[in-house]
């Protein structure tokens, strides 16, 4: 069969959804050349300044190069992420293409998969402000941070944010992710290995899908959200793959929480309106409802939103128990990373990695 995903359809649908918007997510009309140039200039300066502040606040220094800022429109963000998906999913899709089920999945299924992927990416393109970019794309040097210009401008205009401060504030969070992945030597490889393990478990198995529906119905009857932990992928994952997804979720909770905490600390003397920005973005996340809410649940974005809160709480409680020096132990190696249970119950990680273990060692 042809490729199981029609990437061309995915791009067309995502671009259309991004341009039309969803609810209040429509892009502001009339970003002229001068506005685009101002965005590029501001984010180049903000990203450079953010790197200085983040390194000073965390001690995590990027291993190579300097962070480059890239301002894109929604279609550009979609193309970047489709490129990463094609690279990551290549081996899995090739196996699916040559599987015995391939004949029954040809043609219309490829297009439908493209429509579904495009709808999710298109909606996400209306929400994203910044992204540590091309981390997973083939040939990436890992030094690019992208900012979605129309979304940034829309939020500034809607809330009356001062652009210079707001753009620095956004840059602080994204640059923190670059410092994490390039300043901790083992982290990038470990993360990619987890992603590879998760993707390796993806196999076309109708029986697994039926079982997933049965488990989802049982969870719903007991008052639980069957999409809460990892979206649709969490439903169809076998137990060993679900364990890997939990490892990825715990790591992302740590990284996102650390990003938010660092953003606050590094920007304390440089972004006077940081509290205002944070309140507005929390309200923005909470306002999502209806179809947009369903898309968040299906794609696992709901789980990502909780990662910010859980990660921040983990960091606060660890530092309360042992200060920044205890928190710094998370960067010692993969075995020092918190599990999902430890993210939710930081005292368990403190008992495992804290002063008692250090004294015994």
Give, to the nearest 10 degrees, the angle between helix 108-125 and helix 290-299.
110
Helical (H) or strand (E) element with 360: helix 355-360
Q: Please choose, from the candidates 230, 226, 231, the residue with its C-alpha nearest in 3D space to the C-alpha of residue 216.
A: 226
- As a whole number of angstroms, the distance between CA 197 and CA 200 comes to 5
Mean pLDDT across 185-201:
84
Helix, strand, or coil here: 130? strand
- C-alpha to C-alpha distance for 301 and 107, rounded to whole angstroms: 29
Q: Considering only CA atoms, give the Rg of the chain.
A: 21
Contact 179, 66 (CB under 8 A): no
Alpha carbon distance, N-terminus to C-terminus of the chain: 57
Closest CA to 55 of 172, 186, 191: 172
Average pLDDT over residues 208-221: 51
The arithmetic mean of pLDDT across residues 123-128, rounded, is 85
pLDDT for res 195: 81
- For residue 295, with 0-12 CB atoms within 10 Å meaning exposed, 13-18 middle and 19 or more buried, which class applies? buried
With b for 16 or more beta-carbon neighbours within 10 A and e for fewer, the 139-157 pattern comes to eeebbbbbbbbbbbbbbbe
Residue 36 has pLDDT above 80, yes or no: yes
pLDDT digits (tens, 9 = 90+) for 254-271: 998 999 899 988 988 899
What percent of the chain clears pLDDT 90, i.e. is strictly above it?
A: 37
pLDDT value for 262: 92
pLDDT at 71 over 80: yes
- Higher-scoring residue by pLDDT: 272, 105: 272
The domains located in the chain, with CATH, are 1-184 (1.20.150.30), 186-268+300-361 (no CATH)
CA distances from 105 to 109, 116, 235 (A): 5, 15, 21
More confident residue, 327 or 234: 327
- Name the pLDDT band for 320 (thresholds 50, 70, 90): very high
State the pairing for strand pair 130-133/144-148: antiparallel
**SS3 label, residue 67:** coil
CB 225 within 8 A of CB 300: no
Q: Are strands 68-72 and 130-133 parallel, antiparallel or unpaired?
A: unpaired
> Of 108-112, 114-118, 271-275, 278-282, which range is least confident?
108-112
What the block records as the tokens of 270 is 């440089």
pLDDT of residue 141: 52
Average pLDDT rounded to a whole number, residues 103-107: 52
């Amino acid at each position: 069969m042809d490729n199981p995903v029609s990437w061309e359809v995915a791009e067309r649908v995502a671009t259309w959804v991004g341009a039309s918007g969803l609810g209040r997510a429509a892009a502001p009309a009339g970003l002229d050349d001068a506005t685009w140039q101002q965005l590029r200039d501001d984010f180049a300066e903000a990203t450079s300044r953010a790197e200085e502040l983040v390194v000073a606040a965390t001690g995590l220094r990027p291993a190579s190069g300097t962070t480059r800022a890239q301002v894109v429109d929604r279609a550009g963000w979609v193309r970047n992420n489709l490129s990463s998906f094609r690279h990551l999913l290549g081996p899995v899709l090739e196996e699916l293409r040559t599987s015995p089920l391939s004949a029954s999945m040809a043609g219309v299924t490829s297009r439908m998969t493209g429509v579904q992927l495009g709808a999710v990416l298109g909606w996400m393109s209306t929400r994203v402000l910044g992204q540590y970019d091309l981390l997973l794309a083939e040939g990436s040097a890992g030094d690019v941070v992208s900012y979605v210009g129309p979304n940034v401008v829309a939020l500034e205009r809607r809330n009356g944010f001062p652009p210079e401060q707001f753009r620095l504030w956004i840059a602080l969070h994204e640059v923190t992710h670059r410092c994490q992945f390039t300043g901790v030597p083992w982290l990038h490889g470990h993360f990619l290995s987890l992603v590879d393990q998760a993707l390796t478990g993806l196999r076309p198995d109708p029986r697994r899908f039926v079982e997933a529906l049965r488990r989802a119905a049982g969870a719903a009857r007991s008052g639980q959200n069957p999409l809460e932990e990892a979206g649709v992928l969490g439903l169809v994952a076998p137990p060993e793959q679900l364990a890997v997804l939990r490892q990825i979720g715990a790591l992302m909770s740590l990284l996102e929480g650390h990003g938010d905490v660092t953003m606050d600390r590094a920007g304390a003397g440089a972004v006077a309106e940081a509290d205002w920005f944070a309140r507005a973005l929390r309200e923005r996340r909470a306002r999502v409802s209806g179809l947009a809410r369903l898309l968040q649940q299906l794609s696992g974005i709901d789980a990502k939103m909780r990662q910010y809160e859980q990660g921040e709480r983990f960091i606060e409680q660890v530092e309360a128990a042992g200060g920044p020096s205890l928190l710094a132990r998370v960067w010692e190696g993969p075995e020092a990373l918190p599990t999902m249970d430890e993210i939710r119950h930081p005292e368990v990680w403190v008992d495992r990695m804290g002063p008692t273990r250090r004294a015994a060692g």
